[in-house]
């Protein structure tokens, strides 16, 4: 058994006796405990960040950059070890974990060059003898509430950008896999970050509520389900915080009759089943244009599903690890049963697929539905598991309409060789991130991440230039120097 504590002002600390169980998703057994932060613990973390802000905000961008470069060096050196922590506690395969850590490091790399974007602008003679200039100034104490599915990547999308802008930070990672966040802050302390600039508290709703209502917190960034995202956003802004809350998704992929169906099938299997479907950018709905396309795609996907190796993420050759918890496994299983009840055709049922030596683990194979209708709950709701649904549509415009009418608008994709169709799709689809012959269109670090509709509560995206907008406040100065110094001339 191992214990995960809070990290406040550069030290591991525990103030309460309340703990939550941590599970090994491979065996299903309790493997450790995480200590829950109550309101007193949260206040201690926020006060540490507030005290650190007075000096950190005055640190030069060059000094911040020096620490971030050293942090990137340490992350690069420790990438595999961090990935192993993720695999052991979350369950995803080591290669998936390595890839997610690298996506986080990419944002740290971008943060290293942020000083150029923080310099503001200057305009002389906006009026007679009058100049004007703008400044990007830090907010203060910022909070990041991160999900279980990417325990390294999403924290690294948040706090490096925030501290590069001169803020201090409190991370609240998922209580299901909190160890990775602890390792991340240990490494940035090793890189030279002053104590109190980044802190970690653990827990559930009690901890979240204490953070998003704390009088000294200036901004809140959240990633999770839409219901919780809406709650966090509403609560935070009602308490005077700047807030961005990223919610759920139901990502559609349109496959046109002219598409390379082998390429599309490969992409759909990867986009639908990698990370066991536990990612907000997973493709969960295929809009197959025409029955011929649907029939061919299903046969190709069925063949590829049969070759997916399920097992512990540390084992060589494994392509799909377990789900995060038993409760989540039961939720995904219930959606598969619901789909059958609703009348969809279950072409491949992976709900009970488990490696023979790990029957108590939270494993589930890939499932594939055909003849899914837009009225069905398995179409409308986010399943967040290895379940792919095929909806047959007669034409491109029907596919586009279905995407635009859906309540979620996180990511989408289209497979086609037709430039006009691709351009029309890009222009008219009501979704924040679009892939054209690319199944998972997560933006690179110097762009920005963010969906539309109920996939986001806010109007500012994450990382890239959008992070500068979120983690700074704009001050514009208009100045005139009056005559009076002629005697010194």
Q: DSSP letter for 320, please.
A: B
116: Cβ–Cβ under 8 A, 6 or more apart, which residues?
none
Nearest residue to 264 (alpha-carbon basis) of 388, 167, 166: 388
SS3 of residue 329 by DSSP: helix
Q: How far, in Å, CA of 449 to CA of 246, rounded? A: 10
CA geometry: angle 419, 423, 428, nearest 5 deg? 150
Q: Is 275 annotated as catalytic?
A: no
- In DSSP terms, 123 is beta-bridged to 132
- In DSSP terms, 345 is beta-bridged to 370
SS3 of residue 479 by DSSP: strand
Nearest residue to 50 (alpha-carbon basis) of 178, 137, 138, 120: 138
Q: How far, in Å, CA of 111 to CA of 65, rounded? A: 8
Q: How far, in Å, CA of 260 to CA of 273, rounded? A: 20
Of 142, 180, 275, 280, the active-site residue reads: 280
103: Cβ–Cβ under 8 A, 6 or more apart, which residues?
153, 156, 442, 445
Q: Where are the alpha helices (DSSP H) in 343-460?
A: 377-380, 396-405, 419-428
Cα 38 to Cα 45, 203, 205, 206, 381: the distances in Å are: 11, 8, 10, 7, 33
- In DSSP terms, 67 is beta-bridged to none
**Residues forming the active site:** 280
């Amino acid at each position: 058994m191992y214990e995960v504590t809070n990290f406040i002002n550069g030290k591991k600390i525990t103030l309460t006796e309340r703990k939550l169980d941590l599970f090994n998703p491979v065996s299903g057994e309790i493997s450790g405990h995480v200590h829950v932060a109550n309101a007193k613990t949260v206040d201690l973390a926020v006060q540490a960040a507030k005290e650190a802000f007075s000096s950190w905000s005055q640190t030069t961008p060059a000094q911040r950059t020096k620490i971030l470069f050293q942090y990137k060096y340490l992350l690069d050196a420790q990438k595999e070890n961090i990935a192993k922590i993720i695999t052991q506690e979350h369950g995803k395969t080591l290669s998936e974990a390595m890839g997610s850590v690298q996506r986080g490091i990419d944002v740290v790399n971008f943060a290293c060059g942020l000083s150029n974007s923080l310099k503001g602008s200057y305009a002389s003679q906006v009026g007679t003898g009058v100049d004007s200039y703008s400044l990007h100034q830090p907010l203060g104490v910022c909070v990041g509430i991160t999900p279980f599915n990417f325990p390294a990547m999403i924290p690294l999308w948040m706090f490096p950008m925030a501290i590069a802008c001169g803020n201090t930070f409190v991370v609240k990672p998922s209580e299901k896999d909190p160890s990775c966040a602890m390792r991340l802050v240990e490494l940035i302390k090793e890189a030279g970050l002053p104590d109190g600039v980044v802190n970690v508290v653990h827990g559930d709703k009690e901890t979240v509520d204490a953070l998003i209502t704390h009088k000294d917190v200036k901004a809140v960034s959240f990633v999770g389900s839409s219901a919780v995202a809406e709650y966090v956003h509403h609560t935070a802004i009602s308490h005077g915080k700047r807030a961005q809350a990223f919610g759920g998704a139901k990502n559609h992929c349109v496959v046109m009759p002219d598409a390379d169906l082998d390429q599309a099938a490969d992409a759909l299997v990867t986009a639908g089943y990698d990370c066991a479907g536990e990612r907000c950018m997973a493709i969960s709905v295929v809009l197959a244009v025409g029955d011929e396309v649907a029939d061919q795609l299903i046969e190709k996907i069925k063949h590829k599903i049969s070759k997916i190796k399920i097992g512990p993420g540390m084992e060589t050759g494994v392509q799909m690890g377990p789900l995060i918890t038993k409760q989540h496994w039961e939720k995904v299983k219930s959606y598969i049963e619901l789909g059958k009840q609703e009348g969809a055709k279950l072409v491949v049922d992976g709900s009970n697929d488990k490696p023979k030596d790990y029957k108590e683990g939270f494993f589930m194979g890939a499932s594939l539905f055909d003849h899914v209708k837009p009225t069905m709950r398995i179409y409308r709701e986010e399943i967040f598991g290895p379940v792919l649904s095929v909806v047959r549509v007669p034409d491109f415009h029907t596919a586009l309409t279905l995407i635009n009418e859906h309540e979620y608008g996180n990511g989408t994709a289209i497979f086609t060789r037709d430039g006009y169709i691709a351009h029309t799709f890009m222009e008219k689809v009501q979704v924040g991130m679009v892939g054209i012959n690319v199944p998972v269109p997560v933006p690179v670090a110097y762009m920005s991440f963010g969906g539309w509709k109920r996939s986001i509560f806010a109007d500012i995206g994450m990382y890239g230039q959008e992070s500068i907008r979120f983690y700074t406040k704009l001050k514009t100065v208009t100045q005139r120097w009056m005559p009076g110094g002629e005697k010194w001339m």
